[in-house]
Chain A
């Protein structure tokens, strides 16, 4: 079966598999719901099937929200559909562990994706679903990395694209997005202003806004990081996960990925303790966690970590709940600590990360 409906996380109302993202009854977010009963039984065979799949996220097609399964007429052809993402290295970081005073640390290097961020995972899924639904234009509201990924995927698939960004983004990210031949729209304002504009436009244009009207599909792509980590660790969960938090989507979908596979008996272990890292200059989730609140009060971002500068996080309440439920935390780190985090990761692992990802190493410190 695979995906069977979109379901409201707040009130449970089910919707068909169209380009919907919000519950019309209560305004709650819609989430992909699956029936995985057909996958129960021979776990060894399911593991073999995954391992024999393409060297990209489509090896996990049974757990992704495409009505027609993986794109392309066969598993082999799917490797060539669009811009394959995923299967990035999981690096054992013993020198980093030593500096942090921890026993064992692994680094998931998602900069190895085609446009150098995890956004290629979510955009691959959203773009494939957009094509299934008959859209001809991809679009997004972005803090930088998503813009690159949408522009690149649209180019690979021969689709037109429009990417909306805050006008004050890092110049190199704007340059990198423009090279793919997209329609780049700079908006004077914060990311939250850009997001508001795109939310309005999604009701007026027949475009696939990957993180608005296709968000329930898009968000599922983040689960593939959890699947990969578990597979790379030998079909088991890590004890703890430290992930950057902006909207809270990646952070919460990581847990969903682990839970799905644990429920099937595909992996050993427990749901990891989930730690999130935010920028002190934009930390609505960390503030809500520290204050014991269930909702996140929006903030005006002021941080060098532009790709985490979301002052009004869509999945904030769920991120706070997840941190509490797993005994984890959501911490805020300063821009100076981020700079130190970039240096620490580079000096101990050889991975030169950007500001957003350095939240995690800074947070561990």
Chain B
């Protein structure tokens, strides 16, 4: 199913200037893999050597932090938005 991956301004230069990338995916992990397949440079920026998300990367599905769900296995429904944001704001 088609989901939208929304990129923060800091990543858009690595994605051809796009702010949103439409991908086919059923989970967050699949959405990110599809994103990396299209824009390979993003994998290094968002993931550590073990393939997990770096510790200052927040990912939301429908506005909910995926750590309140199943992490990268969190399901995404058609039309839902996967949002990537830096974790270093606030306080």
Contact = CB atoms under 8 A, between A and B. Distances in A.
Interface of A: 10, 21-22, 24-30, 141, 191-193, 195-196, 198-200, 202-203, 209, 211-212, 215, 219, 246-250, 294-295, 297-298, 300, 310, 312-315, 317
Contact of B89 (A21, A294, A298, A317): A21
20 contacts: A24-B13, A26-B45, A27-B45, A27-B87, A29-B56, A30-B88, A141-B89, A195-B90, A198-B90, A199-B89, A203-B8, A203-B9, A212-B90, A215-B91, A310-B91, A313-B91, A314-B87, A314-B90, A315-B91, A317-B55
A22 B8 CA distance: 11
Interface stretch (B20-28, B30-38, B59-67, B72-80): B59-67
Contacts of B57: 27
A199 B91 contact: no
B88 A215 contact: yes
Contacts of A193: 63
Contacts of A249: 91
A203 B10 CA distance: 9
Contacts, number: 94
A141 B90 contact: yes
B5 interface: no
Nearest to B68: A298
A28 B86 CA distance: 8
Contacts of B65: 192, 298, 312
B15 interface: no
A36 B9 CA distance: 33
B11 to A, nearest CB: 8
Contact of B91 (A200, A246, A295): A246
